[in-house]
């Protein structure tokens, strides 16, 4: 097992602070590095990304993702999905119910009247088996047993994190099942491009572009209504870059339903499953940029509408709207909307997803 120079990392996180044993499985901290000397730090508890160290326009390093600096705080975070992997089903399923091969399934209710992010103990709260392949890639594996959180089938999941010399954090997902089931995996990174701080600055001034002509309106419990709505003339139009804060509190029913942005965008695609540009954010002061590319049909834009200033790594605090999430995924509540892209996985098939978060600077 490789974990070189863990004492010399630039993120200031200590490996021993992430080491414990949970139900016989060991947790640890893994550092990925590229040849530019930038870093990504990940723990195998929930696959949580706890640091992404990248430079600003003057070469100054900062951590641009929200997380914690020890395993106890990761486990007990006020935000249980803070920069973690999400499964078996990212986002919401209406009233926790769906039908599959003529049978109704019931999932735990953990978000208003609905089931969110895989239930009460989703993939974000599991210890994954970890193998660091080399300095820039980490393989995580988890076997979700039959019936876990109410889902059918035993599902074997592999997630590979790699950090390229182009400052791309690449996340590749694969999964198989032994019985027909549904699956919708994602990564719930809370990005703060100005760098985490005490307090971490608001995301209002980020310039954001989203490659989507349509989005999914939601009801007051955040379930898609079934409509696929044109963004033109709404606060949801990011086809031309604009500040995140410009319309975040607009007098708009959809903004009110999400308490800000908490909506799935229907990404513009030439063909299903192609790896294509989804979104870009630019932080005007530091010059840092992040581009998102994904094979998924949708991306959930979430503007951290519920944070309250809780404590994160290295003394940082995370006030409301200090992070932004681009959760690449299939659409929320897809099992209950037959015309949404299918989330069914059959035995003998392989679920695959690839999402890239690419960091850069505008000089």
On whether residue 340 sits in a domain, the answer given is yes
On whether residue 72 sits in a domain, the answer given is yes
User: Higher-confidence residue: 255 or 7?
Assistant: 255
Kindly state the tokens that stand for 324: 């932004």
Q: Which residue has the tokens 């895989």?
A: 118
On whether residue 238 sits in a domain, the answer given is no
Choose among 257, 267, 284: nearest CA to 203: 284
Asked if pLDDT for residue 321 goes beyond 90, the answer is: yes
Say how many domains are in the chain: 1
pLDDT at 2: 46
Residues paired with residue 65 on neighbouring β-strands, in sequence order? 191
pLDDT bin (cut points 50, 70, 90) of residue 362 is very high
Mean of pLDDT values over 270-297: 98
- Tell me the C-alpha distance between 297 and 275, whole Å: 10
Mean of pLDDT values over 215-232: 98
pLDDT tens digits, 40-92: 999 999 999 999 999 999 999 999 999 999 999 999 999 999 999 999 999 99
Backbone angles phi, psi at 73, to 5 degrees: -75, -30
Is residue 199 reached through a cis peptide bond, with omega within 30 degrees of 0 on the bond before it? Answer: yes
On whether residue 229 sits in a domain, the answer given is no
Asked if pLDDT for residue 184 goes beyond 50, the answer is: yes
Cβ distance 332 to 221 under 8 Å? no
Asked if pLDDT for residue 3 goes beyond 90, the answer is: no
Cβ distance 87 to 183 under 8 Å? yes
What residues make up the domain containing 133? Answer: 6-201+288-361
- Tell me the C-alpha distance between 341 and 338, whole Å: 8
- Tell me the C-alpha distance between 119 and 284, whole Å: 37
pLDDT bin (cut points 50, 70, 90) of residue 8 is confident
Classify residue 135 as left (phi > 0), alpha (psi -120 to 50) or beta: alpha
Kindly state the tokens that stand for 105: 């399934």
On whether residue 348 sits in a domain, the answer given is yes
On whether residue 276 sits in a domain, the answer given is no
| Residue 188 is among the residues annotated as catalytic for this protein | yes
On whether residue 170 sits in a domain, the answer given is yes
pLDDT at 315: 97
On whether residue 346 sits in a domain, the answer given is yes
Instruction: State the chain's mean pLDDT as an integer.
Output: 97
Whole-model pTM over 0.75 = yes
Kindly state the tokens that stand for 55: 């430079």
Backbone angles phi, psi at 18, to 5 degrees: -105, 5
Handedness of CA 82, 177, 140, 331 (dihedral sign): negative
Asked if pLDDT for residue 308 goes beyond 90, the answer is: yes
pLDDT bin (cut points 50, 70, 90) of residue 101 is confident
Choose among 181, 127, 186: nearest CA to 150: 181
Q: What is the CATH number of the domain that holds 335?
A: 2.70.98.10
Asked if pLDDT for residue 6 goes beyond 70, the answer is: no
- Catalytic member of 73, 148, 209, 327: 327
- Catalytic member of 68, 117, 188, 263: 188
| Residue 327 is among the residues annotated as catalytic for this protein | yes
Percentage of residues of the chain with pLDDT beyond 70: 98
Beta strands per DSSP E along 64-114: 85-86, 92-93, 97-100, 103-106
- Tell me the C-alpha distance between 151 and 139, whole Å: 24
pLDDT bin (cut points 50, 70, 90) of residue 363 is confident
pLDDT tens digits, 17-40: 999 999 999 999 999 999 999 999
Asked if pLDDT for residue 7 goes beyond 70, the answer is: no
Handedness of CA 260, 241, 356, 196 (dihedral sign): negative
Cβ distance 310 to 292 under 8 Å? no
- Tell me the C-alpha distance between 212 and 296, whole Å: 13
Alpha helix positions (H), the chain? 71-75, 253-258
């Amino acid at each position: 097992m490789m974990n070189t120079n863990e004492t010399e990392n630039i993120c200031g996180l200590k490996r021993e602070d992430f080491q414990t044993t949970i139900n016989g499985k060991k947790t640890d901290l893994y550092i990925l590095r590229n040849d530019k000397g930038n870093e990504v730090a990940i723990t195998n508890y929930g696959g949580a990304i706890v640091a992404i160290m990248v430079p600003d326009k003057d070469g100054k390093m900062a951590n641009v993702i929200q997380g914690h600096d020890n395993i106890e705080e990761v486990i007990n975070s006020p935000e249980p999905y803070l920069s973690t992997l999400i499964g078996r089903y990212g986002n919401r399923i209406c009233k926790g119910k769906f039908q599959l091969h003529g049978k109704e399934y019931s999932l735990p209710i953990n978000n208003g009247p609905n089931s969110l992010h895989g239930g009460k103990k989703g993939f974000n709260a599991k210890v994954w088996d970890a193998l660091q392949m080399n300095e820039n890639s980490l393989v995580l594996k988890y076997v979700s047993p039959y019936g876990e959180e109410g889902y059918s089938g035993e599902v074997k999941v592999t997630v590979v994190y790699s950090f390229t010399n182009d400052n791309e954090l690449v996340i590749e997902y694969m999964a198989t099942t032994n019985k027909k089931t549904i699956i919708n995996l994602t990564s719930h990174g809370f990005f703060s491009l100005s760098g985490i701080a005490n307090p971490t600055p608001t995301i209002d001034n980020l310039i954001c572009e989203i490659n989507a002509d349509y989005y999914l309106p939601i009801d007051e419990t955040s379930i898609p209504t079934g409509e696929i709505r044109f963004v033109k003339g709404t606060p949801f139009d990011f086809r031309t870059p604009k500040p995140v804060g410009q319309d975040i509190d607009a007098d708009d029913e959809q903004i009110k339903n999400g308490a800000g942005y908490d909506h799935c965008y229907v990404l513009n695609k030439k063909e299903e499953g192609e790896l294509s540009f989804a979104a870009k954010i630019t932080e005007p002061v530091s010059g840092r940029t992040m581009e998102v590319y994904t094979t998924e049909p949708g991306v959930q834009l979430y503007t951290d509408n519920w944070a309250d200033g809780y404590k994160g790594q290295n003394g940082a605090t995370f006030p409301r709207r200090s992070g932004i999430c681009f959760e690449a995924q299939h659409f929320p509540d897809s099992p209950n909307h037959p015309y949404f892209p299918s989330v069914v996985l059959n035995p003998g098939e392989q679920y695959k997803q690839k999402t890239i978060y690419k960091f850069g600077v505008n000089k």
